[in-house]
Amino acid sequence: MGVSEYIMHGPSEGVSEDTDEANSAVKIVGGNVFVELDPDHPGFKDEEYRSRRNEIAKIALEWNEMSMEERRTTKIPHAPYSEDEDAVWAAIMERIAPVHEKYACHSYLENAKDLGLPNDRIPQLQEVSEKLENMTGFRQEPVGGLVHSKTFHTALANRVFLSTQYIRHSSRPFYTPEPDVVHELIGHTAMLGVPQWAELNILFGKADMRSDTEDAITRLGSVYWYVMEFGACRENNQVKAVGPGLLSSFGEMEHACTSGEGCGENEACVCAPQIEYKKPNFEEMETRPYDVTKYQPVLYVWDSFEEMYQKTKEFVTNWGTDNDPRKDLHK
Q: Which residues are catalytic?
A: 183, 188, 229, 248
Q: What does the alpha-carbon distance between residue 246 and residue 88 come to, in Å, rounded to a whole number?
A: 19
The Cα-based distances of 231 to 146, 175, 279 in angstroms read 21, 21, 11
Whether 49 contacts 169, CB under 8 Å? yes
Give 10-60 as a DSSP string: -TTSS--SSB-TT-TTEEEETTEEEE---TTSTTTT-HHHHHHHHHHHHHH
- β-bridge pairing 232-235 and 298-302: parallel
What are the residues facing 242 on neighbouring strands?
none
Q: What does the alpha-carbon distance between residue 118 and residue 296 come to, in Å, rounded to a whole number?
A: 29
Q: What does the alpha-carbon distance between residue 180 and residue 316 come to, in Å, rounded to a whole number?
A: 27
Whether 205 contacts 154, CB under 8 Å? yes
